[in-house]
Amino acid sequence: MENLLPIAIGILIACGSYLCMRRNLVRVLLGIMLFSQAANLLIFTAAGLSSGQPPIIAPDKLTIAGPHADPLPQALVLTAIVIGFAVLAFAIALVLRAYHKTGSDDLDTFRRSDS
Amino acid sequence: MPLYWIIAAPLLAAFAAPHLVRSAGSRAAGVALSAVPFAIAGWLLSEAAAGAAARVASHDWIPSLGVQLTLLVGGFERLFLLLVSFIGGLVLIYGGAYLDGDSKAPRFFSIVLVFMAAMLGVIAADDMILTFVFWELTSLTSFLLVGYKFQDAGARKAALQALLVTGAGGLALLAGLILLTQITGETRISALAAHSETIASSPLFVPALLLVLAGVFTKSAQVPFHFWLPGAMAAPTPVSAYLHSATMVKAGVILLAKLHPAMSATPLWGFIVAPVGALTMITGALVAVYQTDLKRLLAYSTVSVLGALVMLLGFGDAFSFKTAMFLALVHGFYKGSLFMVAGTVDHSTGTRDVRSLSGLRLRMPWLALAAGAAALSMSGAPPTLGFISKELIYEAKLSLPIAHHLVTAIGVLANSLTVAIALIVGIRPFLGDHGTAKVRHHPGWGLVLPPALLAFLGLTLGLFPGWLDAHLISPAASSLDIDPNQAKLYLWHGFTPVLALSVATLAAGFFFFKIRRKFEMAAHAMDKIHFITPTALYLTGLDGLMKCAAFLTGWIQGGQLRIYVRVTLGAASLLVLYALYQALGEFSLSSQVPLKFFETMVVILMSVSAIAAVLAKSRLAAILCLGGVGYSVALVFAAYGAPDLAITQLLVETLTVVLFSFVILKLPQIRNISRGHTRRWDALIAIFTGLIMTAVVWKAVHVQMAEPISPGLVERSATEAYGRNVVNVILVDFRALDTMGEILVLALGCLGVTALLFRKRRPHVPHDRRGEHEAATMGETPAASEPAP
């Protein structure tokens, strides 16, 4: 699995980069979404996969016995998912606003409406 | 007197100067401030007269780098410190009179005093880094002084040119000094001499020598870097008299002399330094003689003398070295004096054009005397200091082991041109009848006394060469391990070939003076090749640099998002590729988690969905594909022991899809705008980035840089934080501050969305208000119901 997931992450990043380089507003938005998925998965994978139990301590014990998943990257990714969502919501609002303001979905035409 | 005061005192005076000028006027301020350098000069003179031993002061500055505030004042340093402080005092008096009534006078005094401190620092500093700091400070103050008349575009350009040339040289010098430190392990210049064998045999010797020489040659205006010096004549004349004749341009020569014992052990030193000096000497003299502006005449003749100094140091023998010390002293006297004379003439008549100046002795007799005395010294007529120095130079040249005929011939030519220049500048404007330029006002004593004093000293000290030799020149030589008994200073050497050369020089000089108009014709002919001059090359280079910068900025910062993304991804990928290449041998395909059917299918679904999202033509299809990616990621989290992540991801993904579905209907259909060619290139960059990231993750899986901290967190979760879900405990307890920051980000995002969507619309964009409100609510809701970790 450590060999398969990197390939999937590479595909997500490639798709995200390609979409971010488009002139079409909606596609750039899609690219940002793909990018944040890829980043989360990257942190999760790079920290090391584990097929063991989740990092939850049984009610009658004080620590986890046996192999278990690493809780730290999970905490980081959890934060990243939520923040990614906030960023996305903002991006969506921005795109919507920009489209209404300019009437165009072509990013290249936005250069003239900077002011 | 603690040694640091010689630098601190002018700096303190620089702070006091503006106030003094405003309250007492610039004439009085100049006289008052000149007390500082004169006090320093007096102390140095008493030291010299007493034959005091070298003084050292040292203090830690940056101990971790071995940088110390080390000053060393031996015989050599004393000579130049004396020159700089004495002429500095005269320049302050002169400048006060020259700039009387100028609103920028306070600035002038401050900068000149800072410059003085820096220059004294360059001479006295023994630590290499300290030397460099003072060296750069002289460049900076020179920039400010050349650009003194900053309303004038020409002055600004000249200032920038001086700064760029000497600044680039300063960087080269720094690199050279660092190499010297690496070779020897010493940070003090005076300690280098003991390592001259090590330095000469080091493979770093040639680069170190070339870098140091680049710094020296730019500072001391050697060919081909000489062009900035005549440009620097845009500065007010007191500045030219001080910086560009007596002191700053000598900084290169001073450093060259200081490094002489350490680096002149190989023939390479002489092969580079001496020819460059000789070429500069003759070029400066040839170009000077056809100038018509007094200051430019003097500037080019300064280039010529600097060339002679460098050449003498390049010869490397004790005799030449001592001669160079003497020439530097003599030159400071007569050139400082002549520059001030030129300034006074300019001040009184409003012109510096030698063709319109004539008969000035009738209105300014004292100035005429000063000019005449300085010109005598410059032309090397007996019994001036200039005469002695010229005799010495000829003797040094004649005693060269190789090519002494050629060198002497060049020397005679350069010196006779110098005689012609001295006549043009110091004699011609004062003789004859009244010229076309009228004397508008008489110069005050402040504009006459300083040049007269300098010229008078140059004349009378020539009568006492023995005193100078015993107290200044010989200690200077012996403090740099040069045998001072090689050359003795005499006014009368007897009837020798050297005397014959001196007489011939004077005669030839007079001849050149008579035919000086012919040189102007030659100059016009030279104009045809103006495009290969160093000035032209400098301008072309500067222009090219600007164009290159404009092109590069336009290329990588085009103002379009896709270009920024393209450049960033491309550059980052290439850099990572390089790093990966370095670690090529350490890849491993070992796997601890076996491949299982269900998970494999999920990953394949994820990849296919992502590709489909790229290819999708319909908005809804694209969103569904993205949802597919998101849910697959959630399943991966679930499969590998992260139920919290999976739950959050599922929630957020659902919200995203719902939000997007609402909004996207207000946006236009997806379409291809870029051309096919661009799309193919972008695809290539994207695939390259993807491959690089795959490799990075692949590598990262097997890398463990440090001991993981997770076991500790797991251990303390139940016992100390009283929580059993370790991920949650980390979020709300161990890293609670992080989580608070995260909530803040959400709140800000929420505010941003609200601001964007509820902004008051300008009336000219008619628009559906209800739909927007809805979208905003959607944006807020998830933020408010943020998944509690």
CATH number at residue B641: 1.20.120.1200
Task: Provide CB contacts within 8 A for B31, sequence distance 6+.
Answer: B92, B93, B96, B446
- Domain annotation covers residue B205: yes
Residues of A in contact with B735 (CB under 8 A): 75
CA distances from residue B19 to A3, B10, B25, B238 in whole angstroms, order as listed = 75, 15, 10, 20
Q: Is residue B61 part of a domain?
A: no
pLDDT of res. A37: 92
Q: Are residues B500 and B622 in the same domain?
A: no
Closest CA to B657 of B605, B607, B599, B609: B609
The number of angstroms, rounded, from the C-alpha of B93 to the middle of its chain's C-alpha atoms is 30
Average pLDDT over residues A20-34: 88
Whether residue B632 is found in the same domain as residue B742:
no
Cβ separation of A28 and B717 shorter than 8 Å? no
Quote the pTM value. 0.76
Tokens of B362: 């009738």
Structural domain harbouring B614: 561-724
Can you give the pLDDT at residue B761? Answer: 57
For residue B461, being part of any structural domain is answered with yes
B15-24 pLDDT, tens digit per residue, is 999 999 999 8
How confident is the model over B142-157, as a mean pLDDT? 91
Average pLDDT over residues B593-615: 89
pLDDT tens for residues B60-95?
A: 888 888 888 999 998 899 999 999 999 999 999 999
Q: Which residue in B has a C-alpha nearest to residue A20's C-alpha?
A: B562
**Residues composing chain B:** 789
Shared domain for B710 and B747, answered yes or no, is no
| Chain B nearest CA to A35, separation (Å) | 11
Whether B607 shows a pLDDT value over 50: the answer reads yes
What tokens does B560 get? Answer: 């379009």
Q: Look at chain B and report how many structural domains it folds into.
A: 3
- Asked whether residue B360 falls in the same domain as residue B504, the answer is yes
Q: Is B566 on the interface with A (CB under 8 A)?
A: yes
* A97 chain-B contacts, CB cut-off 8 A: 756-757, 759
Q: How far is C-alpha A6 from the geometric centre of its chain's CA atoms?
A: 15
Q: Are residues B187 and B320 in the same domain?
A: yes
Is the confidence at residue B375, as pLDDT, over 70? yes
From the list A7, A28, A30, the residue facing B613 with the nearest CB is: A30
C-alpha B773: how far from its chain's center?
58
pLDDT, position B513: 85
Closest CA to B103 of B25, B36, B214, B14: B25
Interatomic CA distance for residues B271 and B427, integer angstroms: 38
Residues B188 and B240 in one domain: yes
In a domain, B26, yes or no: no
Give the whole-angstrom CA distance, residue A32 versus residue A39. Answer: 11
Q: Do B587 and B492 belong to one domain?
A: no
Q: Do residues B347 and B373 share a domain?
A: yes
User: pLDDT digit string (tens) for B582-598?
Assistant: 877 666 777 777 778 88
CB of A80 within 8 Å of a chain B CB? The answer is: no
One domain, residues B525 and B588: no
B673/A22 Cβ within 8 A? yes
For chain A, the first-to-last Cα distance in angstroms comes to 50
On whether any CB of chain A is under 8 Å from the CB of B652, the answer is yes
B199 in a domain, yes or no? yes
| Shortest CA gap B687–chain A (Å) | 5
Does any domain span residue B112? Answer: no
| Cβ partners under 8 Å of residue B586, min gap 6 | B699
Tokens representing B260 are 């002489």
DSSP-assigned letter for residue B761:
P
For residue B123, is pLDDT > 90? yes
Class of domain A4-50+70-105: mainly alpha
pLDDT value at position B773? 45
Identify whether B761 is part of a domain.
Answer: yes
Per-residue pLDDT reduced to its tens digit, B566-585: 899 999 999 999 988 887 76
Could you tell me if A102 lies within 8 Å of chain B, comparing CB atoms? no
The answer to whether residues B499 and B582 belong to one domain is no
Check: complex ipTM more than 0.90: yes
Tell whether the model's pLDDT for residue B766 goes beyond 50.
Answer: no
